Amino acid sequence: MSVTHVAGDNMNLLGTITCQVSVETRSTTERIYIAEGVQQLYLPLESCKALHLIHHTFPSPFKRVHSRAFR
């Protein structure tokens, strides 16, 4: 089986495993695809948000908060 990666080329899939990925107290269950020639783990955007690795509004910029000192 093969899938197309972001650059448009095909990757040969060798199999999948399901595992729990944790960062501190947060965790998510992911299906990990094992592909020929890939030596790194890439997490989906939603997983990165669930693990608080990136802000939940990414890729939108943060809203600016203006504060005033009260006297």
The answer on pLDDT for 70 being more than 70 is: no
Q: Specify the pTM.
A: 0.65
Q: What is the pLDDT of residue 52?
A: 93
| pLDDT tens sequence across 10-55 | 889 999 999 999 999 999 999 998 999 888 888 889 999 999 999 8
Q: Give 32's Cβ-side CA count (13 Å radius).
A: 14
3-state DSSP assignment of residue 66: coil
The answer on pLDDT for 65 being more than 80 is: no
Straight-line distance from the first to the last Cα atom of the chain, in angstroms, rounded to the nearest whole number: 67
Are the C-beta atoms of residues 15 and 36 closer than 8 Å to each other? no
> Can you give the length of the chain in residues?
71
Return the domain boundaries, the chain: 2-50
